[in-house]
Structure 1
Amino acid sequence: MVVDAGSFGLQAEAVAFLASLRARGCSPNTERVYAGRVALYLSYCRMRRLDWRTPGFLGLAGLQRWLVETPLPPRAGRVRLGSVRYRSRGTANAVMTVVGEFLRFGAVHGWVSAGTAGLLSQPKLLRFTPPGFDRGESGQYQVDAAAFRFRGTEPGYEDLSDEQIRRMIALAASARDRFLIALLACTGLRIGEALGLHRGDMHLLASSRVVGCGIEGPHVHVRRRMDNPNRALAKSRHHRFVPVTADLVALYTDYQYERDDVAEAAESEMVFVNLFRAPLGRAMSYPNAKEMFGRLARALGQACRPHMLRHSAATRWLRDGVDRDVVQRLLGHASPLSMERYRHVDDGEARAAVEHVGSLGECR
């Protein structure tokens, strides 16, 4: 929810916008991030004495500049003399995207004028069209591009080496955390999919026919459920299963021994539950997982986020020659275009290619 800074009551339009995200089946993480960005926009308008419904071109352009020029407050417990943090242009673009969605939502419901909504985009001719798109006789492809957006380079996707993943598992404080890290790294599950797993989804025997499942070998079922107690949500709307290895089954067994020592966890159907702090036995939440990965990042001295493990799994499969269609199914992507982000060339591959060409030259 978003609270009005003046009346301390709910900001009705912002709350309605967030409710629309929930109705569309967006994840709690998306809703939480959007709430913060909408609140940031409303706070900016209040500070500049702007009506958020009619900010005008100058108001929106000012917001874009303000986002990158205003220092961020120091993180709790991490104040360093002389250190000042600013939002990146990428973060500013993400905020402006949410502001645009919020204002368009307001225009649909009559809270925001069509003129304001019209400021948010402008026509743009693309030099490169999407794969498979026919330009037609005109030879042009026009889209509506965001009007308030910084130009920048693509940040790329970070992955982790096998050694880095092993270090993460070794530094994890509990069997539960070790299993969670290994599960994400070995299966490519999203964090929401992992936290939304039920114990009935874990088919870890050589044969699961006794529970009515005809899939052979150990595997995990990934299902989209809207009623998980921790609001964890699988992004893909299609059920899939992902095979798992014997090593992962062994880590799950270790976790079960640890879990059995907490009586409150026995009644929960969720795989990942609180074992070390109250409320014991409750389903593990997104903030819990984020805190755990934050501790690991500080211990390792490097970034380690859940999605990096998913990216690492996909990259490893593709480099090992796994068919792209198989990788797409394992990851739960609906479109093959989503696979493009995972295949990138590492230093070793680049050097091997150059040395191969060099060796051919020597043969001549």
Structure 2
Amino acid sequence: MVGLRGADRAYNTQRTYAGRIALYLSYCIDKGVDWTRPSFAQLVAMMRWLVDEPLPPRSRRPGREPRFRGEGTANATMGTIGEFLTWCSLQGWVPPSVISQLVRPKFLRYVPPGFDAGEDGQRRNVRARLLKYRVAVPGYEWLSDDQIRCLADVTTRARDRFLVLLLAVSGMRIGEALGLRREDMHFLPDSTTLGCKVAGPHVHVRRRRNGNGAYAKSRHPRWIPVEDETVDLYTRYRWERDEIVGSGGVDDCDMVFVNLFRAPLGEAMKYQNTYDLFRRLAGRAGFAARPHMLRHSAITRWVRGGVPRDVAQNMAGHAASSSMDPYTHATDQDKRDAVERVAARRKEARG
């Protein structure tokens, strides 16, 4: 993980990569493969094993259907293994011949919007991965306004309601939200007394090292405006927090989101706490709901609402403009309206 830390990769990325690399090393030990000199055939065999081998059961209750990795997951795992072997090659642990068998030259005939091909098209020549399944690119999962309101309505705590709606209006990543500190919440009409020139209620998102592992993916600080409802929800949450944590002593944690209903009280919430919370909320609401779906929902509303692309990109914390391309979801009503408009025009032409 030294290479990932040196590249300033996000905490979640480091954790995910660690699991994939451990899986590779365990597979090599089990199959008798030299991890420093795997052949192409051996790597292909592992790629097939990833989708054919059942995952460990989550419980020992009989009758549970076995779970398997999807081909997309296998692709991500093999991509991480390729990066790991490439880094090890730079350290002199893996022969360059191992790396050369993982990629092939490829000329990009079609490039994504915003891609800089260079003056002579030199950047169209790339190295493409050989070890990957062909899978359909899934669309981003998002929630409608009604679903977001339903998710907020099934919360029973002011903290949880504030978290849900803050993610839904700000488009923050969950790591950014869990990394917020009280000093980041500029909810006054005028924040000049706080040394901030931004007018109106807003939230600052900054990358820091946090004790709870929360990490802002974007390297660039940004601020996101919020509505009066968000300010009111934060006020209610602060009252709830003071009642629970402040009643037994001094609430000295500067993090915004803290444990209120499980030990240790007043300590910053962690990723697992939040994912458990969203699983419970999704069960009450009756539909899938994860923190990142609220981020996608916010950005989708900005794009569909006519917010300039560069403004939406800044609020989302995307470094590349091409990252905004997937946020154009066609709803069922959009498709129905399109068909009905064409049908209406045909009737007018006939009449």
- Normalising by structure 1, we get a TM-score of 0.90
- Check if 1:303 corresponds to 2:285: no
The corresponding residue for 2:5 is 22
Cα shift at 1:90: 0.3
Structure-2 change in CA distance of 1:121 and 1:321 (3 Å): same
The corresponding residue for 2:328 is 343
- Check if 1:118 corresponds to 2:75: no
Query: Which of 251, 257, 260 pairs up with 2:233?
Result: 251
Structure-2 change in CA distance of 1:36 and 1:138 (3 Å): closer
Q: Is the 8 A contact 1:265 1:275 kept in 2?
A: no
CA distance in 2, matches of 1:209, 1:322: 27
CA distance in 2, matches of 1:174, 1:76: 30
Cα shift at 1:134: 4.9
CA distance in 2, matches of 1:60, 1:202: 49
- Check if 1:148 corresponds to 2:148: no
Structure-2 change in CA distance of 1:244 and 1:265 (3 Å): farther
The corresponding residue for 1:177 is 160
* Identity %, equivalent residues: 50
For residues 94-243 of structure 1, the aligned pairs below 5 Å read: 94-131=76-113, 133-134=116-117, 141-225=124-208, 227-243=209-225
Which consecutive aligned stretches of 4+ in structure 1 deviate over 6 angstroms post-superposition? 135-140
Q: Could you tell me which amino acid in structure 2 is paired with residue 278 of structure 1?
A: A
CA distance in 2, matches of 1:22, 1:141: 30
The corresponding residue for 1:54 is 37
CA distance in 2, matches of 1:85, 1:231: 29
The corresponding residue for 2:264 is 279
The corresponding residue for 1:312 is 297
CA distance in 2, matches of 1:259, 1:247: 18
Cα shift at 1:82: 5.2
For residues 71-86 of structure 1, the aligned pairs below 5 Å read: 71-76=54-59, 79=61, 81=63, 83-86=65-68
Cα shift at 1:358: 2.1
CA distance in 2, matches of 1:238, 1:133: 22
- Normalising by structure 2, we get a TM-score of 0.93
Instruction: Give the alignment's Cα RMSD to 1 decimal.
Output: 2.0
Q: Could you tell me which amino acid in structure 2 is paired with residue 111 of structure 1?
A: W
Structure-2 change in CA distance of 1:179 and 1:239 (3 Å): same
Cα shift at 1:135: 8.2
- Report 1 or 2 for greater relative contact order, CA contacts < 8 Å, sequence distance ≥ 6: 2
SS at match of 1:32: helix
**Stretches of structure 1 lacking an aligned partner (at least 5 in a row):** 1-17
Structure-2 change in CA distance of 1:136 and 1:335 (3 Å): closer
For this pair of structures, how many residues does the alignment match? 345
Cα shift at 1:139: 10
Q: Could you tell me which amino acid in structure 2 is paired with residue 239 of structure 1?
A: P
Q: Which moved more, 1:96-105 or 1:165-174?
A: 165-174
CA distance in 2, matches of 1:135, 1:99: 30
Structure-2 change in CA distance of 1:316 and 1:140 (3 Å): closer
Q: Is the 8 A contact 2:204 2:221 kept in 1?
A: yes
Cα shift at 1:276: 1.7
Q: Is the 8 A contact 1:259 1:265 kept in 2?
A: no
The corresponding residue for 1:45 is 28
Cα shift at 1:335: 1.7
SS at match of 2:104: strand
- Check if 1:269 corresponds to 2:254: yes
Q: Is the 8 A contact 1:29 1:286 kept in 2?
A: no
CA offsets, 1:91-121, max 9 Å, x none?
0001101111111111000111111111221
CA distance in 2, matches of 1:111, 1:300: 51
SS at match of 1:122: strand
